[in-house]
Amino acid sequence: MELEQESGLSRNTVKKALDVLKNEGLLITAPGRGLFVTERHDTKPTK
């Protein structure tokens, strides 16, 4: 994985970090296409 090589982190660490981002809705996986960043939507109410 390219992120492993660029960051010097282990495959397991990179996978866990990507899983966290997917669970938070910041990344989506498109089968056969790859991993994409989603639009950020603030969930905090504005005053």
Find the helix or strand (DSSP H, E) in which 43 lies: none
pTM of the entire predicted model: 0.70
**Domain boundaries, given as residue ranges, for the chain:** 2-37
CA distances from 19 to 4, 7, 14, 46 (A): 15, 17, 9, 29
| pLDDT tens string 10-38 | 999 999 999 999 999 999 999 999 999 99
Mean predicted lDDT score pLDDT of the chain? 86
